[in-house]
């Protein structure tokens, strides 16, 4: 069997890019851009906030357990601590590579 060769009369043209992309600009903001500090200092700040809030909440909830106070009775300092818990929590989860959080936040 003989193979049939198809030839084209049109010359082949090279594709030219229509849009140039600059790799220096990053339009997506990252959670690590939360503070204008170097990354290691930003990590230190959020680790300190996170663990100090967790320590405060555990100690106050331990006192509630000892005095048989219900957990739904929340003081104003516990409300502030719970609200202050969310920023470092989101930062640390996104910093450790869970990109799902960034899609929810930004």
More confident call, 46 vs 96? 46
Overall residue count recorded for the chain in this entry = 106
Q: Check residue 95 and give its pLDDT.
A: 76
pLDDT band for position 79 (50/70/90)?
Answer: very high
Angle at 85 between CA 79 and CA 88, to 5 degrees: 155
Q: Is 68 left (phi over 0), alpha (psi -120 to 50) or beta?
A: left
The DSSP H or E segment spanning 46 is helix 39-66
Q: Check residue 21 and give its pLDDT.
A: 54
Q: Is 24 left (phi over 0), alpha (psi -120 to 50) or beta?
A: alpha
- Express each pLDDT in 18-70 by its tens digit: 665 555 555 566 655 666 778 788 888 889 999 999 999 999 999 998 999 89
Distance of alpha carbon 82 from alpha carbon 78, whole angstroms: 6
Extents of the domains making up the chain:
34-105
């Amino acid at each position: 069997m003989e193979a049939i060769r198809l030839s084209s009369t049109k010359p082949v043209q090279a594709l030219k890019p229509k849009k140039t992309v600059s790799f220096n600009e990053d339009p997506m903001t990252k959670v690590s851009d939360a503070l204008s500090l170097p990354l290691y200092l930003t990590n230190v700040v959020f680790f300190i906030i996170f663990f100090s809030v967790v320590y405060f909440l555990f100690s106050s909830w331990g006192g509630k357990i000892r005095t048989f106070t219900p957990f739904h009775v929340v003081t104003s300092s516990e409300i502030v601590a719970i609200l202050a818990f969310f920023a470092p929590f989101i930062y640390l989860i996104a910093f450790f590579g869970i990109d799902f959080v960034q899609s929810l936040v930004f």
